[in-house]
Amino acid sequence: MALLETVSGPARLRELTIDELTTLAGEIRAFLIERVAASGGHLGPNLGVVELTIALHAVFDSPRDRLLWDTGHQSYVHKILTGRQAGFDRLRKSGGLSGYPNPAESEHDLVENSHASTALSYADGLARADAYLGRTDRAVVAIIGDGAMTGGMAWEALNNIAGGPDRPLIIVLNDNERSYAPTVGGWAEHLADLRAGRGTDVFSGFGLDYLGPVDGHDIQAVQDALRAARALAKPVVVHVITEKGKGFEHTENNELDLGHAIKPMDPRTGRPLGTSVPSFTSVFGSTLVELAEERPDLVAITAAMTEPTGLLPLRKQYPDRVIDVGIAEQHAVTMAAGLSMGGVHPVVAIYATFVNRALDQLLMDVALHKRPVTFVLDRSGVTGDDGPSHNGMWDLSVLQVVPGLRIAAPRDGARLAELLREAVAWSEGPTLLRFPKGAAGDDIPAVARFGGMDVLRRTGSLDVLIVAVGALAGLALTVADGVRAQGIGVTVVDPRWVTPVNPALADMARRHRLTITIEDNSRTGGVGSAIAQTLRDARVSTPLREFGIPRRFLGHGSRAEVLAACGLTAQEISRSVVEFVAELGAGPQHAELDAEGSMW
């Protein structure tokens, strides 16, 4: 029987010898490669922490001792050792195991920690609570990747941990030189000095005890360091050196960019399964290169996400025109404002879920000063398998309050290229584009233009106006087909720029009996809400119904499954629209649109 089959919880590890734990490490690596290759997920980070995680659970008694993972993409081994092996058959799938720590799954998970640089603050609070309540029999352990230490919040926490009372708090610094992308800046240089035995560690300067560096793949050495740290009964940093992707040739070499998250792949070759189709991200990346060739003043900024936000082609073509600030979204945005003041046009490429962190900077440092900075939000709307923290379902609600910010939602690859060109050409203030993760799909041509908006479908009488937001235009057209089959006339319009609301939309809505909006964003404060306000201000009496994401956190699953759970399917929306029209009763006759498509 394999050792892994005998492990149903962390206590089992304390019964095994070092040789047996080393054997177990090999079995875990083989398990990870097989299962994550089948499902997709964060393979590289977890291959790198196998021995570290074994040592942590052999020394500490979870869940009495609290283990916090920052970021949570390195917690797969932790899940295996805490009795969740069977769940890997449905990793990141609906009803299956989450790709991040999840308190709903296990008592060994404290927080769904998938946004970087937060664990030290959680740990400081937990340790202070224990001290306040007189508990001295357990430790708090925060495992933080070296790249997550580039986030300002981590240093805010360190400042308070060092300045607070002594309490059992252990910071395990997992140093693999590339928490996500290669760690950047002065922090990376400092860690390189420590690895080489040069200089004094910065933690001692803060007044914290420091142990290391320790070989993170030597289970005995890591256990010894952790036990020494625990015996100090005070805040201490254990610096552990690991190799991201260790044990799998394709990730060890970061081959095919498999060092972090992967799609389902052939574990023998490292090649992704299935066919590759152009994504919104790739269209953005190629268009940005074209714009950079035309505009020498254009530069791109990323927060440790060069590859996933589509900036690799630009970096290869113009390496000095892509700035990676590490996991530091706030700095990225205010630095963009400074670049703009200096005569450069910055394009800030960031995940929609992470722009939340930089709201104050976007509002006060960019928009208040009317700086022409272009923001490009990848992974907007429902992302699916990464779970509740990674859905980009708040950006339209949050960012519509920013004065002077123009927001575009391209429906396909062609519109993305058009709108990006329009965005970087705008010089009166900030602009923003948002698009989802995944394939851009077929281009959807307009059949007419009205007030700068694209009319995508006009059939029958002017009964229902469907306002399609971004990538849900295809869904809106399918809804239009379903509604038209019931004898109801439909017009489908894509505003292209959704903020501020185009005044022509009020004129268009006035000529219909019902307006509906379909968006991949929260219904609360979303585009539908903004359009409703515009109609009220214009004294348009046409009723409006918004279809979007409900005000709740969404579980992980495929994008289609999550959208369906939100009621964002053609069948659900079509049925609701037909019911709404029926409730309106017999209305005034509206003119048919002629074959040539002349407008009203």
d(CA 118, CA 376): 24
Q: Is the omega angle on the peptide bond into residue 550 within 30 degrees of 0, that is, cis?
A: no
Catalytic, 437? Answer no
Residue in the structure block whose two tokens are 């980009």? 392
Q: Please, which residues have CB within 8 angstroms of residue 581's CB and are 6 or more apart in sequence?
A: 463, 464, 483, 488, 513, 514
The DSSP letter of residue 166 is -
Q: Is 25 annotated as a binding residue?
A: no
Torsion of the alpha carbons at 108, 114, 115 and 119, rounded to the nearest 10: 20
Residue 503 contacts residue 538 (beta carbons within 8 Å): yes
Q: Please, which residues have CB within 8 angstroms of residue 385's CB and are 6 or more apart in sequence?
A: 40, 92, 93, 99, 556, 557, 558
Pick the catalytic residue: 329, 519, 546, 561?
329
For residue 434, list its beta bridge partners.
377
Q: Compute CA distances 416 → 260, 378, 499, 575, whole Å.
A: 27, 12, 16, 31
d(CA 420, CA 406): 12
Catalytic, 234? Answer no
Number of other residues whose CB lies within 10 A of the CB of residue 461: 18
Q: Is the omega angle on the peptide bond into residue 71 within 30 degrees of 0, that is, cis?
A: yes
Catalytic, 307? Answer no
If we measure between CA atoms, which residue out of 87, 133, 93 comes closest to residue 109? 87
Give me 185's structure tokens.
């800046």
d(CA 237, CA 508): 62
Give me 146's structure tokens.
């070296």
Q: Is 116 annotated as a binding residue?
A: yes
Q: Is 276 annotated as a binding residue?
A: no
Residue in the structure block whose two tokens are 């698009």? 435
d(CA 219, CA 17): 10
Q: Is 146 annotated as a binding residue?
A: yes
d(CA 132, CA 142): 19
DSSP 127-147: HHHHHHHT--S--EEEEEEGG
d(CA 261, CA 482): 39
Burial of 490 (0-12, 13-18, 19+ CB in 10 A): buried
Pick the catalytic residue: 357, 371, 406, 513?
357
Pick the catalytic residue: 84, 244, 246, 523?
244
If we measure between CA atoms, which residue out of 171, 154, 147 comes closest to residue 244? 147
d(CA 233, CA 38): 43
Q: Is 130 annotated as a binding residue?
A: no
DSSP 209-222: EEEEEEETT-HHHH
Give me 37's structure tokens.
């290759």
Residue 252 contacts residue 243 (beta carbons within 8 Å): yes
Give me 211's structure tokens.
């142990």
Q: Is 31 annotated as a binding residue?
A: no
Q: Is 73 annotated as a binding residue?
A: yes
Residues annotated in a binding site: 73, 114-116, 146-148, 176, 248, 329
Which are the catalytic amino acids?
A: 244, 329, 357
Residues annotated in a binding site for Mg(2+): 146, 176
Residues annotated in a binding site for thiamine diphosphate: 73, 114-116, 147-148, 176, 248, 329
